[in-house]
Homo-oligomer: A and B are copies of this chain.
Amino acid sequence: VDEHRWFKHRVRVRYQETDQMGVVYHTNYLNWCELGRTELIRELGYPYRDIEAKGLILPVVEAELKYRLPARYDDEIEIYTRVSSYTNVRMEFCYEIRRVHQSETSIANASAGVLGVRPAGDLLVDGLTRHVWVNQAWKPARMNKELPELLKLLSEKS
């Protein structure tokens, strides 16, 4: 694994994301994965909003998560995301969701949202999602035909 390809994005746990166990309800980590890949794609230079404006969408076809430690209300969380593989029709992203150590809060914050970092902090959840490119009629689409710019950005930066 080449840690230089990891992208990190900071969020803080919202009250709404907790449940009566006193921890983050487990489906929210999957939301955070979406935030991670959205911000990674933005960082690559092609916001997902613009991709959908071109008529392409990237639905999830598979998701796997391993829960190791619970996140709690108001924790500062870093979502680490990287493109683990892609072809013209598919994409796979890996994730590590980590809690920022209290002492590193301000330093870590300084480098939030940067591509090419080494994951740090307590590992809470890791996992992956697999996606296919489809058009608005949910028919398969090909990146080299429909989104050559993104393909180029992926090959250069991810």
Bound complex: CA of A64 vs CA of B74, how far in Å?
Answer: 25
Chain A 72-107 interface mask (CB, 8 Å, partner B; 1/0): 011000000000000000000000000000000000
* Complex copy number for this chain: 4
CB-contact partner of A15 in B38, B66, B73, under 8 A: B38
Determine if A44 is an interface residue (Cβ-Cβ < 8 Å).
Answer: no
CB-contact partner of A30 in B21, B27, B57, B62, under 8 A: B27
Cβ < 8 Å to B, chain A residues 1-53: 14-16, 18-23, 25-28, 30-31, 34-35, 38, 47-49, 52
Determine if A114 is an interface residue (Cβ-Cβ < 8 Å).
Answer: no
Interface of A is mostly: mixed
Chain B nearest CB from A64 CB (Å) reads 5
Chain B nearest CB from A138 CB (Å) reads 7
Known contacts A14-B31, A31-B16: does B48 contact A59 (CB below 8 Å)? no
CB-contact partner of A67 in B25, B26, B38, B61, under 8 A: B61
Residues of B contacting A66 in the complex (Cβ-Cβ under 8 angstroms): 61-62
Determine if A121 is an interface residue (Cβ-Cβ < 8 Å).
Answer: no
Residues of B contacting A25 in the complex (Cβ-Cβ under 8 angstroms): 15-16
Interface residues of A (CB under 8 A from B): 14-16, 18-23, 25-28, 30-31, 34-35, 38, 47-49, 52, 57, 59-68, 70, 73-74, 138
Task: Return 8 A-B CB contacts under 8 Å, by A number.
Answer: A15-B38, A16-B31, A18-B19, A26-B59, A27-B31, A52-B73, A61-B66, A62-B67
